[in-house]
Structure 1
Amino acid sequence: MSTTNEESAARVAIVTGGSGGIGSAVARALAADGMAVAVHYSGSAERAEKVVASIQEAGGTAISVSGDVADETAMTALFDTTEERFGGIDVVVNTAGIMLLAPLAEMELDAFDRMHRVNVRGTFVVSQLAARRLRPGGALVNFSTSVTRLQQPTYAAYAATKGAVEAMTLILARELRGRDVTVNAVAPGPTATPLFLDGKSPELVDRIAAASPTERLGTPDDIASAVAFLAGPGGRWVNGQVLYANGGVA
């Protein structure tokens, strides 16, 4: 774990998968809005450290914390560390997830189980902790995908995990009645992250970009802006919704 400074901020956010393409943009956006941010990572400590450093250089406050997103003990430690450092938690954003693609008839069950563990169990574990610990005025933002509405071949297993995320998100919003905590999901469309672009030809990328009326791919900052809206004061009247941030692709 690394830290920037010891000062507590008025609002505090946890971003799971905060070292990834979208996660890092979300962490920076929330920090720019004045929040102290716990940047969670499960793989690359170096990438997480770079995100923390960039927040610090911009005058913000951040820590990096590792852990398996589907492990309740590790995630409890993440929440404990954040509360001990900053005094509470106001925003939790679940960007952590994996995408493994294959036609349903050919999908290896081990691959499906891996994806289910991270995308569904991981979201459940973190959402459960958020439901127990978010302060009044808080926000939980989970991550779905626009693929749930596109019915694209090879995406069945991935879309199924994200359909589960949407279901738990919308129900949890109703279960937190009276808590003054909002629960929403963001469903990105095709977004120009290294993971998305890897292995795709320029021609394929161009075809995917052309599917949107905006005729471009989304950027991590586009998605981060949607999250920042839901996590900030302007999003307090948005609750129990799935926000499709996809440029009109679906």
Structure 2
Amino acid sequence: MKTIKFFILAAAVLTLWVGCNKDNSTGTTRVKVRMTDAPANYEQVNVDVKAMVFKIDNDTAVNLNVTAGVYNLLDFANGLDTLIASNDVQSGKLSQVRLILGTNNSVKVDGVVYPLTTPSAQQSGLKLSMNSVLTPGVDYNLLLDFDANLSVVKTGNGTYQLKPVIRVITAATTGSIHGSIVTSLALPATVSATNGTTTYTTVTDDNGNFLVHGLPAGTYTVIVTPKLPFLPVTVSNVAVTVGIKAELTALAF
């Protein structure tokens, strides 16, 4: 059986969510794990979440209280998310998060539901390498940002595979860019935001809205590429500030 290689697009980072009590001596940390997604050109992308395991101090395995079930990733696009796990865990160095998927994964294309094969994720779990210290008395929020458009791969024989493309991001250390397209004939459109040599992409939803999130502070060039025969539009010098959603003027083609 061919092994599926999983791609992690960014280094995983945990950030302070509420507050810190330096006198806390219980040795535990509260962590909330949320899941979100970038829009994709599918009707549904369903993932079967079964379990999640933290590896702390390189040897201690902590099973999280996961809300197991089948999640349509497209329900959590453009800034929406869902809480999938919340736990008080042992404090220490978090070196790995393992997301375990079941067998009930599928994609819906043109009204037809196709199974998504994910042998590696079903057997040993999707492993996300971490390098974060969980301090006693500090609450952390971890956001798993799927890219459903890149995660679903159509094979040569017409079947589909799930090769999860995930960024691990935190809202407290990033900003976002929001905008909309009012010309329905130009939809769907692809949106990219570039800062230096790094580019982040998304696609519009059915109503023409888009949100590029998980962006480090900086100045971005945004390119909106609509459906043909409409031509791309570039918006330069878009300033992104930590914790702030930058709003673009609605675009008409």
- Pick the TM interval, shorter chain: under 0.3
Which structure has the greater CA radius of gyration? 2
- TM-score, normalising length: structure 1: 0.25
Higher strand share: 2
| Higher share in helix | 1
